[in-house]
Amino acid sequence: MGKKAWGGRFKKSISKIAEEFSESVSFDKRLYDEDIRGSIAHVKMLSKQKIIPSKDAEKIVSGLNSIKKEIESGKFPFRQELEDIHLNIERRLIEKIGRVGGKIHTARSRNDQVLVDIRLYLKTETSEIIKLINKLSSQFVTLAEKNIDLALPLYTHMQRGQPVLLAHHMLAYYEMFQRDSERFKDCLKRINVNPLGSGAGAGTSFPIDRDYTAKALGFNSVSKNSIDTVSDRDFIAEFIFCCSSMMMHFSRLSEELVLWSSKEFDFADLGDEFTTGSSIMPQKRNPDMAELTRGKVARVYGSLNSIMTLLKGLPLSYNRDLQEDKEPLFDAVDTVKACLELNTEMLKKIRFNKSAMESALSGGFITATDIADYLTRKGLPFRDAHEVSGKIVGYAEDKGIELEDLEFKEIKKFSKLIEVDIFEYISVQGSIESRKSYGGTATDNVGKMITQAKRTLKNNK
Ligand code: ARG
């Protein structure tokens, strides 16, 4: 029973330590469904092409279906000595239907079989991730819409810069995650290719029909070079890059959530459901979920590094090194899905603190740029306008008051171009509403962007 599928020419059996070292069934068993789907399509094609008799194909298909049930009910005997999921299923098939089960591997090699499994798996997971991104994105849009009357400072160099709508800030995240979604969609094109029929790497002498299996498995196209096909793991590297880029976005979101929920900022409250207490300091409410999300970015970058290093310098075509592609891939998939789900739920509970944002907007001469813009519109070169505005700020600072609390005659002293309408521009609201340029923070603009985003999200469904 312990006989290897490849045992024909071997006199001694593999050592226990080598068997343990090289097994992959402990982790590739998660590909069982894809493996069975791939085998069923392959066997139907073999029968259609009269490479095997149709009654043999029928037996194999029903055997595979009953194996699927065994696996799903937890009764399947996974055996480490059978190395991987492919050989475990094949051996079980032979046990169940007899030697005819061995026909399943006609015109196929594990080198193309493993690629069918991973590509099918990634097709499903990528579509799932795109759906989850859509859910997260719509949460940003909901937050934008619900908080359209809230403003906060735009920070540059972590210094208060200019007033912006919180909604505009939320939509910045929407844009970032939409780009991620687009990247995954594009990656899907390279995932969605039929590798089956490349055999060990040279093709096969049997009259197979690769278009048939492509269609049966829902692949959009058929790979063109059998050597490249069994060597290629680019689509995995690309997929993990897409994950990494999205995780980088998550790390920036997490960082802001950590800052915003601190007493120092106090812009946001993550709610009891998504924070933890300290076992020693009773006053604390820790943003652990945001911190863990930020921390998990490291794992995904690690996976990217693993796959890139795995592929570097590897000669064509299949080398056993490639078995090491799976664990980083699975870990990246699990991590990004968990982060998407968790953060979507967490953002449903977040509450923003209007008064903390308002006090951050006051006391920092945050509309100084607006004075400069005002003077520039009146004809002063921007550099000179910047200088004048700086002097006004210095004056207000010495007096210990806000720009909008200055008397008209005080401001007027700095430039004869200044009229009373300046006050319309140096209020927070005036500053925000003046930024009507496409992509700017004026309420009208942001409102239009919300409408547009909702439409995009609906079409993405
Ligand atoms: N477990 C192997 C992997 O994941 C399957 C392919 C093995 N092919 C081979 N010729 N040993 O890469």
How do residues 91-129 score in pLDDT, each as one tens digit? 999 999 999 999 999 999 999 999 999 999 999 999 999
Q: Is residue 24 in contact with ligand 1, taking CB distance under 6 Å?
A: yes
Reply yes or no on whether 157 is catalytic: yes
pLDDT at 2: 55
* Low-confidence stretches of the chain (pLDDT beneath 70): 1-2, 280, 282
Q: How far apart are CA 31 and CA 81, in angstroms?
A: 18
Reply yes or no on whether 54 is catalytic: no
By CB neighbour count within 10 A (0-12 exposed, 13-18 middle, 19+ buried), where does 392 fall?
buried
For the chain, give every domain's residue range. Answer: 15-106, 111-359, 362-460
pLDDT at 276: 84
pLDDT at 8: 78
Q: What is the CATH number of domain 111-359?
A: 1.20.200.10
- Which ligand 1 atom sits closest to the C-alpha of 84? 1
pLDDT at 283: 74
pLDDT at 1: 42
Specify the pTM.
0.94
Given 22, 62, 221, 278, which residue is catalytic? 278
Q: Does the 362-460 domain belong in CATH 1.10.40.30?
A: yes
pLDDT at 235: 98
Name the closest-CA residue to atom 4, ligand 1.
323
Query: What SS3 class is residue 156?
Result: strand
Q: Does the 15-106 domain belong in CATH 1.10.275.10?
A: yes
Q: How far apart are CA 32 and CA 37, in angstroms?
A: 9
How do residues 280-327 score in pLDDT, each as one tens digit? 676 778 999 999 999 999 999 999 999 999 999 999 999 999 999 999
Q: How many CB atoms lie within 10 A of CB 298?
A: 12
